[in-house]
Amino acid sequence: MQKRKLGKSDLEVSALGLGCMGMSFSYGPPKDKQEMTTLLRAAVERGVTFFDTAEVYGPFTNEELVGEALSPFRGQVVIATKFGFDLSGSDNRPGAAGLNSRPEHIKQAVEGSLKRLKVDVIDLLYQHRVDPDVPIEDVAGAVKELIQQGKVKHFGLSEAGVQTIRRAHAVQPITALQSEYSLWTRTPEKEVIPTLEELGIGFVPYSPLGKGFLTGKIDENAKFDSSDFRSTLPRFTPEALKANQALIDLLGSIAERKKATPAQIALAWLLAQKPWIVPIPGTTKLNRLEENIGAVSVELTPDDLRNIDVAASKITVQGARYPERLEKMTGR
């Protein structure tokens, strides 16, 4: 597996990471713990060294799973986790919890994450969503202290806007920004990616396969269980899925030419955008993991990339990526 550095930091990870959320949370009922442990270890055997979790996934159970499964590989893998939700209430649906990035809460959250992940230091700690009630300088300052104490190595933000990125970076250098980015969510291209390039910050796209849509396996007849949060997303209504099929047709035609799959083309396209971009597709299946890893060796020429851009620019993606309440938590 090729390696990449996140921005100007010394944090080197596999060119593709593994998003672990769906193993415990959000995409239907939690998966079998033993099967997921086997999958996580299979990822390490195949060269994946970058794993993404968060305290809110579960809550807590995903960090426990990742911590236990990866405990034999301490020092060989990089585990990223996130703080920023208030998990004291009982409603644990995605985004149902309020935000809390008060410095004392961050320190508490980190103690919990360290225990669950069975580590002495968190490799990369993200603020999960920007908290409008806490100045970002205070958040960055709290993480800076944790770095000085040796409890955290690197600081990251998720779904932050450019002003927030700049203000935080001035207090404690940011190693990575994690936000949604794929062929059907290209918002970061306008302001965020140029800012990251200027400041030397790495970019970790989540949902690089459009929450499964860009695999080409979801059409307008897809049914989502109420425990699958895609059932709440405007972009996953039958009308939007039908309208967005043009994107799949585009990926499919390129995939055929390259003897690859639509998912591999979608990931290869992301990898080709910048050398400091590290997508984290999630999966709960070994064959999907192997397919995703295969994307690293798909070579897209400048011509291929131009053709994809020209064709994609003619397709208007239908549907917001989140319901309004969750959309408000992004880009702050």
64: amino acid identity, one letter: E
Q: How many CB atoms lie within 10 A of CB 270?
A: 22
Distances (CA, A) of 242 to 181, 247, 281: 21, 10, 23
Q: Which residue bears the tokens 């999630």?
A: 282
Number of DSSP helices (H) and strands (E) in the chain, helices first: 12, 9
Q: How many CB atoms lie within 10 A of CB 190?
A: 9
- Angle in degrees, CA 95, 61, 292, rounded to 5: 80
278 and 4 Cβ atoms separated by less than 8 Å: yes
85 and 100 Cβ atoms separated by less than 8 Å: yes
Q: How many CB atoms lie within 10 A of CB 327?
A: 12
Q: Is 206 a catalytic residue?
A: no
Name the catalytic one among 57, 181, 206, 322. 57
Spatial separation of the C-alpha atoms in residues 295 and 277, rounded to whole Å:
14
Spatial separation of the C-alpha atoms in residues 6 and 92, rounded to whole Å:
31
- Length of the chain in terms of residues written: 332
Q: How many CB atoms lie within 10 A of CB 318?
A: 16
Spatial separation of the C-alpha atoms in residues 298 and 260, rounded to whole Å:
8
Q: How many CB atoms lie within 10 A of CB 325?
A: 10
Using alpha carbons, select from 278, 205, 221, 218 the residue that is nearest to residue 247.
Answer: 218
User: What are the residue numbers of the active site?
Assistant: 57
